[in-house]
Amino acid sequence: MASPGKNPEKNNVWLQIAKYSQLAFIFPAATVAGWLIGVGLDHWLHTTWLYLVGLILGIVAGFVELIRMVSGSDSE
């Protein structure tokens, strides 16, 4: 049984690997989702540049999630 003062999740190597491997999926998924939303808006509004805005917003969302995850693991 773990002592109440220690966090058993922090010491589990497999749990840490799983947490950081999420970034391998979250970052590209955010980028692709932003791009697809931009392409959808381009077709709907008959423009040719909104896919770039969606792509940039998706990349920014991926970086925000990366920073949030890394800073959250440091505070634990």
Domain residue limits, the chain: 20-75
Distances (CA, A) of 22 to 15, 30, 43: 11, 12, 31
pLDDT at 6: 59
pLDDT band for position 73 (cuts 50, 70, 90): low
Calpha distance 33→60 (Å, rounded): 12
Write out pLDDT tens, residues 10-59.
668 888 888 888 888 999 999 999 999 999 999 999 999 999 999 999 99
Give the closest residue to 57 by CA, choosing from 36, 27, 31, 39: 31
